[in-house]
Amino acid sequence: MNTEKTPSTEVVETPVPTQQPVYDIAETPEEFVITARIPGVDRSAVETVIDGDDLVITGKRTWKQPDNWKLLHEEIPAVDYRLVLRLDHRVNRDALKAHLTNGILTVMLPKAEAVKPRRIEISS
């Protein structure tokens, strides 16, 4: 009976953790603005979807080290981001816009016309 232990050559993948990104919500007279920090996520790996009454933001941060590198220490793991925010009747769901700059995702949610401030003319 062989009791020698041989090193395993099996690659074991650990699950990628899911994090909620830190985010801010601001309001202007014309729109709501959400800014979310998703560092290291490429634009092609970000998805912003309206699902029913929810705005769902997802993104994946991945990195593949070059084949000739031997990793000695790792503190920047792969991560999946997920943020779900409930939309209400004040948002014009057909006019949302988003852009990603330097790891900051900005989503502009224009207000529905019915809730925007408007001036009422006074007649004589």
For residue 119, what pLDDT is reported? 83
pTM: 0.76
Token representation of residue 10: 């099996």
Provide the pLDDT for residue 49.
94
pLDDT of residue 36: 97
- Give the whole-angstrom CA distance, residue 103 versus residue 62: 14
What parts of the chain have a pLDDT lower than 70?
1-14
The confidence score (pLDDT) of residue 1 equals: 47
Which residue in this structure is represented by tokens 């999946």? 80
